[in-house]
């Protein structure tokens, strides 16, 4: 823990200030009574006393630390600032962290559980009790479990905000029902990483890098961007060079040494050209590759007649990528050849201090986007910079997920609504296809939870979700667990208010840098009350209204599903300290902190605290590296006990034990290696070959569905980038944060001046953007910051509601009319933009923004990549000046066409249904909820 010196402050007048330490970071020993002057009382010096309690931001996945300042006079949270004792964020937050206070005080928030009083989507609601909710769902879920319909219970998550809690709950129930948003987010990038190293995320050590390559806008909005942005700048200040590949001049690109505005989908070609230069110019790390790449497997499988030597492998590699010349990459991408060569050399020279990251961006936009992360990791492999200081580690090396007590055994059940036979390699659940699968009669959902998830608005073809959610045969019972109204909650049977970041418990760890830490989100008012002697049995008793925390909801629900323990569920929700008693949320985390976090009990003891008290006090803990090392973990030598009964394959060195690969023998030493089938880095993926895609057995370049030659600008065609984030908004949960909407309240279409001239529009003019299934009408923003031939529109705005007063927060949403025509087409029109309104917050009467953006995702059909399963977001569109009668915010969608496009993309898959081994999916590939190995075999086996 970094010691932060207490600064002495003297007023400009020289007078010693009464509030002794107006330091930027209050020291923890004074968190129990922190004194500041009341800004509103200025120029009088009126002291305000606060108690400071740490928690974790819930507004993106980065899990930064926050400090809640609780006013001792009112017992209410006054503000949130950064927690300097959080190892990831180190006291710094983006705008969304402090805006948590808006979410707490939002006058539009839902405070009590609601039940629909009319038809689904009709907008009639009545207040109900949590007891009624719990009984209703418990009965429904219990019936599904007892009847053996364990694939009819589904939990569909947007922002998880925890590590492992729900997987344990679903495992205890024995259902295969974990669904996520990941295949509209990151599953493609994940897939590229997974086939290489068995972990599906990168963790760059930016602070110690000599060269950093980002295929994202990581200084402002990317994955874990705030903690990583800090380290990128640190690296730059120490001399690292930064290159950013992005067709849009993002804030990140503007800070880079090299802005590489590639044509979307061409990134893998550029990266492979760089790989070729590194190989040809002998800049690669031969010793690392010889030891850690599965080149022996490649040679044996693909070149059995050749000398099985490393040197021959390198020669073959150069042949294999001979076509990826700088000239070819330049032609595909639009980058100058000499820039590609220059950067390749700098990467080669950076060696083990080359850090690289891609996440959504190109990987999320393009057919075959997973080849981008795969080609990027190839550069890390060539430079031997995997898990080195200044390099890029698998995320699992920089993340720590402590085990809870009593882990449920995996269930013998497989849900084909999540992992259908067409997508055996899908990195995550095929969640965006659920409406089509239900329409096709592949199953039904008896109990459906959407949790901080808004598919009607977030997913492509949101109309398909409305049609699904309003069909009671397809989705029998639906509860939206959400802190805020959403377009999806409107179509639920129950809307269940759950806490924002300061109103719930969660345990989080993220790969923000080369370290392992855990962060403890806690309901700060509950902690405050308990510290002051008030008994709080459930968090909702301390939260506003009846806002529950989900951890307690799932414990309560599980007890009601299995009240007498006969289903074997209840035992997982009984106290580890008081046998037979219902688990309390404090006991759940107390057990983890006492038993599963190396070094925490010792650190706590030094301060005379229990591990739980330590986490409640600081909100985070960094595991000492001697207890949990973070670099080159593949080189951990296996202990004799781990080798008992093991066998070693002579050719590849793979060590197996009980049929599973456990390590690899290199130069006579047994190492742990990587969690891949070969235990090495898999340049050669036998998995892809064996599962129907032999042409992709090694890293390659897939032509995107929006490649340059497919777009004819002269005939009005453009490539639409609809994926970029704004640094100030959250996908679908910032509608309740007035400060954020004050900053960002429009998503105009970025158009290059040459294209604007061709189209005949200027900034502010209305455009019609036509996709395969419909169109939307938005304003143009003419800028040089976008590659010619490409238009871009942020996905963060365009929230809507159907009712004048209720539905999505009025800070953020336009009131719209949405209706289905006779022919199955749908139209949306703004009835009223964002308007001031009267509420308990006087700021609501001061709203000055009016339009609020346009909802573009409704006009996108699904584009599931046939291998990774990721929705390929980029679109080929026609852009023209608005037609007569078009109005801002108009949306038109033809759902019949949307279904046709789904079928076209489905036809690109290669289902693997009659395999000799009977497997539905490779056993080694990860799943968020992992059923028993037997469930991986299809029923026909």
Radius of gyration, CA atoms only, the chain: 27
* Contact characters 169-208, ligand SF4, x per CB under 6 A: ----------------------------------------
* Contact characters 246-285, ligand SF4, x per CB under 6 A: ----------------------------------------
Which of 226, 358, 395, 543 lies at the binding interface for ligand SF4 (CB under 6 A)?
Answer: 226
Stretch that binds ligand SF4, among 61-69, 514-522, 639-647, 786-794 (CB under 6 A): 61-69
Judged by beta carbon, residue 60 or residue 141, the one nearer ligand SF4 is 60
Stretch that binds ligand SF4, among 28-36, 93-101, 151-159, 592-600 (CB under 6 A): 93-101
Least Å distance, CB 62 to ligand SF4, is 4
Longest pairwise C-alpha distance within the chain: 87
Which of 25, 53, 62, 207 lies at the binding interface for ligand SF4 (CB under 6 A)?
Answer: 62
- Residue 64 binds to ligand SF4 (criterion: CB under 6 A): yes
Beta-carbon contacts of 466 under 8 Å, excluding residues fewer than 6 positions away, are 121, 456, 491
Judged by beta carbon, residue 59 or residue 415, the one nearer ligand SF4 is 59
Judged by beta carbon, residue 634 or residue 732, the one nearer ligand SF4 is 732
Judged by beta carbon, residue 64 or residue 603, the one nearer ligand SF4 is 64
- Residue 60 binds to ligand SF4 (criterion: CB under 6 A): yes
Which of 25, 53, 63, 269 lies at the binding interface for ligand SF4 (CB under 6 A)?
Answer: 63
- Residue 232 binds to ligand SF4 (criterion: CB under 6 A): no
Judged by beta carbon, residue 57 or residue 278, the one nearer ligand SF4 is 57
Judged by beta carbon, residue 67 or residue 386, the one nearer ligand SF4 is 67
Here the tokens at position 654 are: 């793979």
Question: Do 778 and 747 meet the contact criterion of CB atoms below 8 Å apart?
Answer: yes
- Residue 57 binds to ligand SF4 (criterion: CB under 6 A): yes
Cα–Cα distances (Å) from 388 to 129, 189, 551, in that order, read 54, 21, 37
| Torsions phi, psi for 281 (to 5 deg) | -90, 15
Beta-carbon contacts of 826 under 8 Å, excluding residues fewer than 6 positions away, are 463, 818, 819, 820, 858, 891, 892, 893, 895
Other C-beta atoms lying within 10 Å of the C-beta of residue 308: 14
Judged by beta carbon, residue 88 or residue 523, the one nearer ligand SF4 is 88
Judged by beta carbon, residue 59 or residue 522, the one nearer ligand SF4 is 59
Stretch that binds ligand SF4, among 91-99, 567-575, 625-633, 641-649 (CB under 6 A): 91-99
Among 172, 815, 798, smallest CA distance to 457 is for: 798
Stretch that binds ligand SF4, among 55-63, 432-440, 538-546, 857-865 (CB under 6 A): 55-63
Least Å distance, CB 55 to ligand SF4, is 11
- Residue 101 binds to ligand SF4 (criterion: CB under 6 A): no
Q: Which H/E stretch holds residue 77?
A: strand 77-82
Among 744, 841, 809, 76, smallest CA distance to 482 is for: 809
Could you give the angle at which helices 267-280 and 370-382 cross, rounded to 10 degrees? 20
- β-strands 774-782, 749-751: how paired? parallel
Stretch that binds ligand SF4, among 56-64, 303-311, 392-400, 490-498 (CB under 6 A): 56-64
- Residue 507 binds to ligand SF4 (criterion: CB under 6 A): no
Under DSSP, the state recorded for 583 is: P
Stretch that binds ligand SF4, among 57-65, 755-763, 811-819, 868-876 (CB under 6 A): 57-65
- Residue 516 binds to ligand SF4 (criterion: CB under 6 A): no
- Residue 759 binds to ligand SF4 (criterion: CB under 6 A): no
Question: Do 838 and 844 meet the contact criterion of CB atoms below 8 Å apart?
Answer: yes
Which of 55, 93, 252, 427 lies at the binding interface for ligand SF4 (CB under 6 A)?
Answer: 93
Distance CA 519, CA 521 (A): 6
Stretch that binds ligand SF4, among 62-70, 279-287, 455-463, 602-610 (CB under 6 A): 62-70
- Residue 97 binds to ligand SF4 (criterion: CB under 6 A): yes
Least Å distance, CB 83 to ligand SF4, is 10
Judged by beta carbon, residue 93 or residue 794, the one nearer ligand SF4 is 93
Distance CA 829, CA 515 (A): 50
Stretch that binds ligand SF4, among 89-97, 159-167, 366-374, 847-855 (CB under 6 A): 89-97
Least Å distance, CB 91 to ligand SF4, is 11
Judged by beta carbon, residue 231 or residue 927, the one nearer ligand SF4 is 231
Which of 94, 344, 386, 698 lies at the binding interface for ligand SF4 (CB under 6 A)?
Answer: 94
Judged by beta carbon, residue 188 or residue 221, the one nearer ligand SF4 is 221
Least Å distance, CB 378 to ligand SF4, is 29
Which of 86, 90, 96, 796 lies at the binding interface for ligand SF4 (CB under 6 A)?
Answer: 96
Judged by beta carbon, residue 572 or residue 621, the one nearer ligand SF4 is 621
- Looking from the CA of 535 toward its CB, the CA atoms found within 13 Å total 1
- Looking from the CA of 718 toward its CB, the CA atoms found within 13 Å total 28
Here the tokens at position 848 are: 């000055």
Distance CA 380, CA 262 (A): 20
Signed CA dihedral, 416, 417, 418, 424: sign only = positive
- β-strands 258-260, 153-157: how paired? unpaired
Stretch that binds ligand SF4, among 87-95, 353-361, 847-855, 923-931 (CB under 6 A): 87-95
Least Å distance, CB 60 to ligand SF4, is 3
Give the number of residues in contact with ligand SF4, rule: CB under 6 A. 13
Judged by beta carbon, residue 82 or residue 265, the one nearer ligand SF4 is 82
Here the tokens at position 86 are: 């959080």
Distance CA 206, CA 497 (A): 39
Here the tokens at position 137 are: 């769902």
- Residue 59 binds to ligand SF4 (criterion: CB under 6 A): yes
Judged by beta carbon, residue 415 or residue 734, the one nearer ligand SF4 is 734
Judged by beta carbon, residue 228 or residue 771, the one nearer ligand SF4 is 228
Q: Please report where in the chains the tokens 């200025």 appear, as a residue.
A: 42
Judged by beta carbon, residue 222 or residue 699, the one nearer ligand SF4 is 222
CB environment 411-428: b (16+ within 10 A), e (fewer): bebbbbbbbbebbbbbbb
Distance CA 151, CA 445 (A): 8
Under DSSP, the state recorded for 858 is: G
Q: In what order do the strands lie in the sheet with 211-215?
A: 258-260, 241-245, 211-215, 354-358
Judged by beta carbon, residue 226 or residue 868, the one nearer ligand SF4 is 226
Least Å distance, CB 741 to ligand SF4, is 15
Under DSSP, the state recorded for 26 is: -
Least Å distance, CB 226 to ligand SF4, is 3
Here the tokens at position 653 are: 């060195």
Among 730, 735, 771, 729, smallest CA distance to 891 is for: 771
E strands, 72-197, are 77-82, 114-116, 125-127, 153-157, 178-180
Least Å distance, CB 501 to ligand SF4, is 8
- Residue 500 binds to ligand SF4 (criterion: CB under 6 A): no
- Looking from the CA of 792 toward its CB, the CA atoms found within 13 Å total 25
Cα–Cα distances (Å) from 301 to 289, 305, 694, in that order, read 18, 10, 11
Beta-carbon contacts of 344 under 8 Å, excluding residues fewer than 6 positions away, are 273, 274, 275, 277, 278, 281, 283
- Residue 427 binds to ligand SF4 (criterion: CB under 6 A): no
- Residues near ligand SF4, by CB under 6 A: 57, 59-60, 62-64, 89, 93-94, 96-97, 225-226
């Amino acid at each position: 823990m970094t010691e932060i010196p207490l600064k002495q402050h003297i007023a400009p007048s020289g007078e010693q200030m009464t509030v002794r330490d107006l330091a930027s970071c209050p020291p923890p020993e004074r968190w129990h009574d922190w004194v500041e002057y009341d800004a509103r009382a200025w120029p009088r010096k009126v002291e305000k006393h606060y108690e400071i309690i740490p928690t974790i931001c819930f507004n993106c996945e980065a899990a930064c630390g926050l400090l809640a300042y609780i006013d001792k006079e009112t017992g209410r949270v006054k503000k949130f600032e950064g927690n300097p004792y959080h190892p990831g964020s180190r006291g710094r937050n983006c705008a969304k962290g402090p805006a948590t206070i808006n979410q707490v005080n939002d006058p539009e928030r839902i405070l009590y559980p609601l039940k629909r009083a009319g038809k689904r989507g009709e907008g009639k609601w009545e207040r109900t009790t949590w007891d009624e909710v719990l009984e209703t769902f418990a009965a429904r879920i219990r019936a599904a479990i007892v009847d053996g319909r364990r694939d009819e219970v589904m939990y569909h998550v947007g922002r998880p905000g925890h590590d492992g809690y729900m997987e344990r709950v679903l495992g205890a129930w024995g259902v295969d029902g974990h669904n996520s948003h990941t295949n509209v987010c990151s599953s493609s990038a994940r897939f590229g990483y997974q086939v290489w190293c068995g972990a599906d995320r990168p963790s760059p050590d930016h602070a110690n890098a000599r060269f950093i390559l980002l295929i994202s806008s990581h200084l402002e909005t990317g994955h874990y961007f705030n903690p990583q942005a800090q380290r990128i700048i640190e690296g730059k200040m120490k001399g690292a060079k930064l290159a950013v590949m992005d067709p849009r001049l993002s804030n990140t690109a503007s800070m880079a040494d090299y802005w590489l505005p590639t044509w979307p989908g061409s990134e893998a070609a550029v990266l492979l050209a760089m790989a070729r230069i590194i190989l040809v110019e002998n800049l690669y790390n031969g010793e690392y590759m010889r030891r850690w790449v599965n080149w022996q497997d490649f040679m044996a499988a693909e070149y059995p007649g050749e000398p099985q030597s490393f040197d021959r492998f390198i020669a073959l590699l150069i042949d294999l990528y001979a076509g990826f010349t700088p000239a070819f990459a330049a032609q595909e991408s639009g980058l100058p050849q000499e820039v590609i060569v220059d950067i390749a050399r700098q990467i080669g020279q950076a060696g083990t201090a080359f850090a690289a990251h891609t996440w959504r961006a190109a990987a999320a936009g393009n057919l075959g986007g997973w080849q981008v992360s795969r080609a990027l990791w190839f550069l890390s492999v060539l430079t031997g910079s995997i898990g080195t200081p200044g390099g890029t580690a698998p995320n699992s090396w920089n993340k720590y997920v402590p085990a809870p007590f009593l882990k449920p055994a995996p269930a013998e059940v497989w849900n084909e609504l999540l992992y259908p036979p067409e997508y055996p390699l899908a990195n995550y659940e095929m969640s965006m296809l659920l409406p089509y699968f239900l329409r096709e009669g592949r199953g039904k959902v008896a109990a459906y939870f959407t949790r901080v998830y808004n598919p009607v608005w977030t997913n492509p073809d949101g109309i398909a979700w409305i049609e699904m959610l309003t069909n009671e045969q397809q989705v029998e019972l639906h509860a939206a667990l959400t802190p805020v109204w959403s377009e999806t909650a409107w179509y639920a049977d129950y809307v269940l208010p759950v806490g924002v970041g300061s109103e719930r418990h969660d345990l989080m760890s993220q790969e923000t840098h080369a370290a392992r830490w855990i962060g403890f989100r806690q309901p700060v008012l509950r902690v405050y009350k308990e510290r002051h002697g008030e008994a709080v049995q459930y968090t909702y008793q301390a939260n506003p209204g009846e806002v529950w925390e989900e951890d307690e909801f799932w414990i309560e629900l599980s007890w009601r599903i299995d009240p007498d323990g006969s289903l074997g569920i209840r035992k997982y929700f009984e106290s580890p300290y008081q046998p037979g008693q219902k688990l309390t949320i404090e006991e759940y985390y107390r057990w983890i902190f006492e038993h599963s976090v190396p070094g925490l009990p010792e650190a706590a003891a030094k301060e005379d605290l229990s591990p739980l008290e330590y986490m409640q006090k600081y909100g985070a803990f960094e595991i000492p590296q001697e207890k949990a090392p973070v670099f080159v973990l593949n080189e951990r030598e296996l202990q004799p006990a781990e080798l008992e009964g093991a066998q070693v394959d002579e050719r590849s060195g793979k060590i197996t034990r009980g049929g599973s690969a456990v390590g690899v023998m290199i130069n006579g030493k047994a190492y742990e290696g990587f969690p891949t089938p070969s235990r090495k880095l898999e340049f050669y993926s036998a998995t892809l070959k064996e599962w129907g895609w032999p042409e992709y057995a090694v890293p390659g370049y897939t032509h995107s569905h929006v490649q340059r030659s497919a777009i004819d600008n002269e005939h009005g065609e453009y490539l639409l980038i609809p994926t970029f984030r704004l640094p100030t908004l959250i996908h679908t949960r910032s509608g309740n944060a007035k400060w954020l909407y004050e900053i960002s309240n429009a998503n105009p279409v970025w158009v290059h001046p040459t294209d604007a001239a061709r189209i005949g529009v200027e900034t502010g003019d209305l455009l019609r953007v036509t996709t395969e299934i419909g169109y939307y009408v938005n304003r143009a923003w003419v800028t040089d910051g976008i590659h010619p031939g490409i238009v871009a529109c942020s996905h963060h705005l365009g929230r809507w509601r159907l009712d004048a007063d209720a539905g999505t927060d009025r800070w953020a949403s336009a009131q719209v009319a949405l209706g289905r025509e006779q022919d199955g087409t749908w139209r949306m029109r703004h009835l009223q933009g964002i308007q001031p309104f009267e509420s308990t917050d006087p700021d609501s009467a001061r709203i000055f923004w009016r339009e609020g953006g346009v909802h573009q995702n409704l006009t996108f059909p699904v584009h599931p990549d046939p291998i990774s399963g990721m929705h390929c977001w980029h679109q080929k569109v026609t852009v023209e000046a608005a037609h007569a009668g078009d109005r801002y915010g108009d949306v038109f969608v033809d759902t019949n066409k949307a279904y046709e496009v789904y079928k076209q993309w489905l036809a690109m898959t290669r289902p693997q249904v009659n395999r000799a081994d009977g497997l539905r999916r490779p056993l080694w590939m990860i799943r968020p909820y992992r059923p028993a190995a037997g469930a991986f075999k299809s029923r026909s086996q």
